[in-house]
Amino acid sequence: MDYKRAVTYLTQRGQAHLLDYFDELSPSEQKQLLCDVENANFAVVKNIKKAQNHKTGKLTPIPAVTVEEINARRSVFEDVGLKLLEDCKVGAVLLAGGQGTRLGSDKPKGMFNIGVTRTLTIFEQQMNNIKQVVARTGRFFPLFIMTSYINDAATRAYFEENGYFGFPKDRVHFFIQNVAPTCDFDGKVFLDEKYRISFSPNGNGGWYSSLINSGLNSVLERENIEWLNVYSVDNVLQRICDPAFIGATVLKRCSCGAKVVKKVSAEEKVGVLCREDGKPAIIEYYEMPEKLANKRKKGELVFCYGVTLNYLFSVQALNSTLSGKLPYHLAVKAIPHVEGGERITPVTPCGYKFETLIVDMVKMMDSCLAFEVEREREFAPVKNSTGVDSVDTARALLALNGVTL
Ligand code: UTP
């Protein structure tokens, strides 16, 4: 795109201010800015009104396959799951594109050291968890790792330096998630530098389209992968490719499954798996009406199943919903940007980042199995540096599970 075209293109989209400093730039910087203009998805910004006007439908609880039922039928579920793993019909997808701002580390979140007397990073701990299932099946499944343009190089280098933690290198496939422009509260896209548009990773909902865009569907097709187990980087007790979870989802004929835990309180900050207008849905804690969050039957919370960000998706179901567009959610953030000719780093929120969420993919599925797991054994999220869901709470739970820290 040349300058003249960029002026028309941006004016039509109400973003002509992005060229305010064009005359001050070197030829290579001008080229960079024009390239950003060409690549930016300005349509995303139109989502501000839509996202603000989002209305939740009629919510009803969803029954789960409970810990008791799972324990009673474990061998039945596991046999089915193990067979699929042995036949290499299941792959895993690690969502590691987040910025982990709450943890306050500028490295990829997975490189955070949760060890005490030794170094044990989140990545290493999760790879140790994977080894347990590999030991049972004798087969390595393909492991897809989603990064962002911000942490991709560091993540790849870390896996390389650590010999992929014993996983064969050719079974690990990295891909970079897509980005969206950031903007102020009026929808004016920010400049990160005078010659760069401000972009941020577009949330964890874009994982499947990013995987496809990167060409990795060739691996899915070549290996005839039928199921993908998608999990977050921050849960250090994450059980990846759990045979019982896979088997239960298949036997219950669901197109996806979600590992859930019983909420500890109505206020716990987890998304709740339920039904919205009869379809499976996950309602984020901040979207759940207080009355429903507190509703109880025989003393128990009615909307009691919190998601742990560990999902199993049928590849066939993913492919048939691919054309469906995921809605963008607004994240109100303090975003560094150029203002009055200077780059500033605000401490208070000044605009929006746009994110699609994996929870919205569940809404696109016709069925979702709520698979209850024991919190103490499988849910130790590292979100904050102190307090709830922090490094301290995760360490305590790891110790409880016999992990030497
Ligand atoms: P979070 O919602 O906790 O976000 O991510 P975050 O970016 O890691 O942390 P904060 O909010 O800035 O503190 C849940 C999971 O989704 C992944 C994260 O890496 C984590 O595994 N994620 C999140 C992505 O892969 N991409 C994104 O754009 C956002």
- Alpha carbon of 25 to those of 15, 19, 21, 28: distances in Å? 18, 10, 7, 8
Instruction: Give yes or no for residue 109 CB within 6 A of ligand 1.
Output: yes
How confident is the model at residue 194, as a pLDDT?
97
Contact of 334 with 221, CB cutoff 8 Å: no
Query: DSSP for 161-187?
Result: HTGGGGS-GGGEEEEEPPEEE-EETTS
pLDDT of 53 > 80? The answer is no
The proportion of the chain whose per-residue pLDDT surpasses 70, expressed as a percent, equals 99
Q: Is the pLDDT higher at 105 or at 198?
A: 198
- DSSP bridge partners of 330: 354
Query: DSSP for 218-268?
Result: HHHHHHT--EEEEEETTBTT--TT-HHHHHHHHHTT-SEEEEEEE-SSTT-
Q: Is the pLDDT higher at 52 or at 65?
A: 65
Query: DSSP for 52-64?
Result: HT-----EEE--E
Which residue among 123, 144, 204 has the greatest number of ligand 1 atoms within 8 angstroms of its CB, and so is best to mutate? 204
User: Is residue 301 classed as helix, strand or coil in its secondary structure?
Assistant: strand
Q: Is the pLDDT higher at 286 or at 108?
A: 108
From the alpha carbon of 177, which atom of ligand 1 is closest?
A: 26
From the alpha carbon of 384, which atom of ligand 1 is closest?
A: 13
Long-range own/partner contacts, residues 159-165 (CB < 8 A, 24 or more apart): 159/123, 162/123, 162/124, 165/123, 165/124, 165/127, 165/128, 165/131
Average pLDDT over residues 272-291: 91
From the alpha carbon of 147, which atom of ligand 1 is closest?
A: 25
In the block, tokens 């501000």 appear at 48
Contact of 140 with 171, CB cutoff 8 Å: yes
pLDDT tens string 132-166: 999 999 999 999 999 999 899 999 999 999 999 99
How confident is the model at residue 122, as a pLDDT?
96
pLDDT of 50 > 80? The answer is no
Instruction: Give yes or no for residue 177 CB within 6 A of ligand 1.
Output: yes
How confident is the model at residue 10, as a pLDDT?
96
Instruction: Give yes or no for residue 314 CB within 6 A of ligand 1.
Output: no
Can you tell me the distance from the alpha carbon of 150 to that of 156, in angstroms, rounded to the nearest whole number? 12
From the alpha carbon of 100, which atom of ligand 1 is closest?
A: 9
pLDDT of 218 > 80? The answer is yes
Can you tell me the distance from the alpha carbon of 16 to that of 76, in angstroms, rounded to the nearest whole number? 62
Can you tell me the distance from the alpha carbon of 96 to that of 155, in angstroms, rounded to the nearest whole number? 9
Give the mean pLDDT of the chain.
94
Confidence of residue 321 (pLDDT cuts 50, 70, 90): confident
Average pLDDT over residues 5-13: 96
Instruction: Give yes or no for residue 98 CB within 6 A of ligand 1.
Output: yes
Can you tell me the distance from the alpha carbon of 214 to that of 176, in angstroms, rounded to the nearest whole number? 8
CA–centroid distance, residue 6 to ligand 1 (Å): 33
How confident is the model at residue 323, as a pLDDT?
63
Instruction: Give yes or no for residue 101 CB within 6 A of ligand 1.
Output: yes
Residue 264 half-sphere exposure toward CB, CA atoms < 13 A = 9
- Alpha carbon of 9 to those of 4, 46, 193, 258, 388: distances in Å? 9, 16, 20, 43, 47
How confident is the model at residue 105, as a pLDDT?
78
Instruction: Give yes or no for residue 205 CB within 6 A of ligand 1.
Output: no
CA–centroid distance, residue 272 to ligand 1 (Å): 17
Q: For ligand 1, atom 5, which residue shows the shortest CA distance?
A: 98
Instruction: Give yes or no for residue 329 CB within 6 A of ligand 1.
Output: no
60-64, 97-101, 242-246: least confidently modelled range: 97-101
How confident is the model at residue 98, as a pLDDT?
86
Average pLDDT over residues 334-344: 95
pLDDT of 316 > 90? The answer is yes
- DSSP bridge partners of 351: 184, 333
Amino acid at 30: Q
Amino acid at 185: F
Residues 6+ apart with CB under 8 A from 79: 247
DSSP-assigned letter for residue 384 = B
Contact of 139 with 115, CB cutoff 8 Å: no
Which residue among 103, 122, 232, 379 has the greatest number of ligand 1 atoms within 8 angstroms of its CB, and so is best to mutate? 232
How confident is the model at residue 29, as a pLDDT?
97
In the block, tokens 């567009």 appear at 325
User: pTM here?
Assistant: 0.92
Which domains does the chain show, CATH number per domain? 1-39 (no CATH), 46-400 (3.90.550.10)
From the alpha carbon of 231, which atom of ligand 1 is closest?
A: 21
pLDDT of 91 > 90? The answer is yes
